[in-house]
Copies of this chain bind each other. A is one copy, B any other.
């Protein structure tokens, strides 16, 4: 360790190699406290060249490396394992380029936060296409590496779709990629597509060239009550074909509405005993889209109650029923969090399987999510048997053609379930690809490794 530490100090300077256990402890555990490992050293390189030096030194020394951005992940992918690892923090990679209005792009260091991406874009007259709750800590590099999602995916896609370019360093210290930001280039392997969602297993992202979208100053929000998940999907289908500028289509199931309403000390804004699924719909545009939203919802027979608001306190009261669900769950305890998705037509079957699993293994479900992607955050309070609940629910999602991780990534937590969603041939091919870029297994061992 001393020899490696000396090498790393020579690369990044003494202030940026941390070995005091009191200091490194916060890098060695995730924010939920469920994943705790040992940080041999924490290294904070200040440039792509320094990242290259660090990776080359660690690979030569046979010491594994875990890249860490904002450390806001939920699946243990950004903290060391029990096996001691070097934590490569991107916290100093915070350079920000000017907003390029012609290209509608901006170049950011991997360590820039999601919130800063948005603020920087808005200062240049644009907006960031991806947003999610951990925006103040989560970094753009981490969001690309985990292919993060959020509520605007229906309009703009996940983080993978936002990457017009990136630079990254492979395990052997080779630098790859470009920040030129070419929206069209087809000359072989497209590094942004490969690295997005690779969770630090193929390379360490050091900077990204991200797309920007228009900054829509007007948002209209509706909450509608439908009789069932099938009705909610019918509403989604109508919106998809009839509405331009659809910005979000979110799902709240009755159990979650009850929990958040109690937490807020408020009555649900819409719905009654007939309601099987609530849908939150947002349109964003340069002009006020409220009339368009009302018109789109007016003739849909699946809706038995609706509230439509534009900006201001009324909208804030409405969206609180979606935005504060997580907080209302946390107020009741630490949930088992399963982040599944299925084809939207299979949502009903998924929830039937969830309820059967609860009946068999115990727990109270607080389900909500992103309707347009069939993505349900299955939060279970007081889980009876977490392992059997996970087995049954992840198994049901995959049996329905769905997935065990929609937007949280695989990390460590899902390694034992990867076989549910990938065939042996696929796992073998993925392992061969990983071995081709990292033959010594330096980068994030255990993460995305089928067991």
- Residue numbers of A with Cβ under 8 A of B are 100-104, 125-126, 146-147, 149, 153-154, 157-158, 160-161, 170, 174-178, 180-191, 193-194, 196-199, 201, 214-216, 233-234, 236-238, 240-245, 285-286, 341-345, 370, 372-375, 401-410, 414, 418, 421-423, 425-426, 428-430, 432-433, 435-437, 448
Contacts and interface: CB of A to CB of B under 8 A. Distances in A.
A425 B174 contact: yes
B410 A343 contact: no
Nearest to A195: B193
A187 B194 CA distance: 13
> Could you say which of A104, A183, A214 has the most chain B C-beta atoms within 10 Å of its C-beta?
A183
A187 B286 contact: no
Query: What's the number of copies of this chain in the assembled complex?
Result: 2
5 A-B pairs with least C-beta separation: A101-B237, A193-B193, A180-B401, A174-B425, A436-B436
A101 B374 CA distance: 13
A410 B188 CA distance: 7
Contacts of A345: 100, 102-103
B414 A102 contact: no
A418 B184 contact: no
Given A189-B430, A237-B102, A436-B433, A183 B157 contact: yes
Contacts of A404: 187
B161 A370 contact: no
Contacts of A435: 436
Given A405-B185, A409-B186, A433 B425 contact: no
B425 A436 contact: no
A403 to B, nearest CB: 4
Given A161-B161, A193-B196, A236 B102 contact: yes
Contact of A188 (B178, B188, B341, B418): B418
A175 B187 CA distance: 25
Contacts of A126: 240-241
Contact of A183 (B100, B158, B183, B409): B158
Contact of A103 (B184, B234, B343): B343
A125 B435 CA distance: 45
Contacts of A197: 186, 188, 190, 193
A76 B350 CA distance: 47
Nearest to A177: B426
A422 to B, nearest CB: 7
Contacts of A430: 188-189
Contacts of A153: 183-184
Given A102-B236, A160-B190, A214-B240, A185 B436 contact: no
25 contacts: A100-B343, A102-B234, A102-B344, A102-B345, A103-B374, A104-B240, A147-B186, A170-B425, A175-B423, A180-B402, A180-B403, A182-B373, A184-B341, A184-B370, A185-B403, A185-B421, A186-B199, A186-B409, A187-B409, A187-B414, A187-B421, A190-B197, A214-B241, A214-B242, A214-B244
A329 to B, nearest CB: 21
Given A104-B240, A182-B373, 12 more contacts: A103-B343, A104-B237, A104-B241, A126-B240, A147-B190, A174-B429, A182-B341, A185-B341, A186-B199, A188-B418, A214-B241, A244-B286
Nearest to A425: B174
A215 B423 CA distance: 36
A286 B242 contact: yes
A366 B234 CA distance: 49
A75 to B, nearest CB: 10
A244 to B, nearest CB: 6
A182 B374 contact: yes
Nearest to A147: B186
A234 B101 CA distance: 8
Contacts of A184: 149, 153, 158, 341, 370, 373, 375, 403, 406-407
A214 B244 CA distance: 8
